[in-house]
Amino acid sequence: MRAKRVVGNWKMHGSLGRNAELLGECARRLGGQDRPVGVEVAVCVPFPYLAQTQAALAGTALAWGAQDVSAHAQGAYTGEVAAPMLAEFGARYVIVGHSERRAWHGETSALVAAKAAAALAAGLTPIVCVGESLEERESGMTETVVGGQLSVCIETLGLDLLARCVVAYEPVWAIGTGRNATPEQAQAVHAFLRRRLGKAGDVVSVLYGGSVKPSNAAALFAMPDVDGGLIGGAALSIEDFEPVCRACA
Ligand code: 13P
């Protein structure tokens, strides 16, 4: 049984004042009695706001997490944040291998797999992101690229640990561009990824990310292999995030 999930990725946005308002609205509209039934909703916030998020969402139906994690459990790694530290703040999720980190921080699929392993060791659920560029899609390389990114995780973690991960398909050309993959394009890649997951594909949620908004969420989430979404811009406003979460119910 695959869980349905909608996870907000706040990226590098927020302030204490703005977060208080957004988290309060999320708790009230998505975390209480009127919450969307059968959907796990979470927000992945910048590191400094984890304590604030924990305080605001503890006791609600909402989960929270971070957007990156060190591959190391502790040590002389200036500027890094370890998975056990995230766990201390009640985090359930951590995003690993987002295309923005692969592109601008030189993260390889091997490092992403090591980060996923570190997260799992601390009891967190890694959300492993894969996705192709526009150039790769147009040259027919989509399956080669996303399959290659995922296979490093499969080899590193093995199927048992992989079954405890979430996978997110985020075509790079659809992130922050307003241009989402069509439901059919998303479905085709999700079905491919699920086949790649083998037995773990029966339990791993595969989320779609890239310009999900209230107007397209229902059609994307209706696809048989789309188990929910990883939401960027639309997670920053409750007026957008709430209908996106409800579209998954
Ligand atoms: P947008 O929803 O802003 O396109 O971002 C998607 C994303 O990168 C989520 O991780």
CATH at 163: 3.20.20.70
The whole-number pLDDT of residue 166 equals 98
Tens of pLDDT, residue by residue over 11-66, are 999 999 999 999 999 999 999 999 999 999 999 999 999 999 999 999 999 999 99
Rounded Cα distance, 203 and 68, in Å: 23
- Mean pLDDT in residue range 229-249: 98
For residue 105 the two structure tokens come to 């921080």
Residue among 117, 38, 48, 111 nearest 83 (CA): 117
Residue 65, ligand 1, Cβ within 6 A: no
Candidate from 95, 175, 208 with most ligand 1 atoms within 8 A of CB, to mutate? 175
Residue 231, ligand 1, Cβ within 6 A: yes
- Mean pLDDT in residue range 64-73: 98
Rounded Cα distance, 240 and 176, in Å: 15
Report percent pLDDT > 90 for the chain.
98
Determine contact, residues 214/248, Cβ cutoff 8 Å.
no
Rounded Cα distance, 79 and 140, in Å: 38
Active site residues: 98, 170
Residue 1 pLDDT level (bands cut at 50, 70, 90) = confident
Residue 232, ligand 1, Cβ within 6 A: yes
Torsion of CA 217, 221, 225, 230, to 10 degrees: 50
Distance of CA 88 to the CA centre of its chain: 20
User: Number of structural domains, the chain?
Assistant: 1
pLDDT higher than threshold 90 for residue 184: yes
Candidate from 211, 220, 236, 244 with most ligand 1 atoms within 8 A of CB, to mutate? 211
Q: What is the pTM of this model?
A: 0.98
The domain of 137 spans: 4-247
Report which residue type is found at 158.
G
Q: Give the nearest ligand 1 atom to 129 CA.
A: 10
Q: How many residues does the chain have?
A: 249
Tens of pLDDT, residue by residue over 121-163, are 999 999 999 999 999 999 999 999 999 999 999 999 998 999 9
Residue 103, ligand 1, Cβ within 6 A: no
Q: Give the nearest ligand 1 atom to 95 CA.
A: 10
The whole-number pLDDT of residue 168 equals 98
Residue 96, ligand 1, Cβ within 6 A: no
pLDDT higher than threshold 90 for residue 164: yes
The average confidence (pLDDT) of the chain is 97
Centre of ligand 1 from the C-alpha of residue 70, in Å: 22
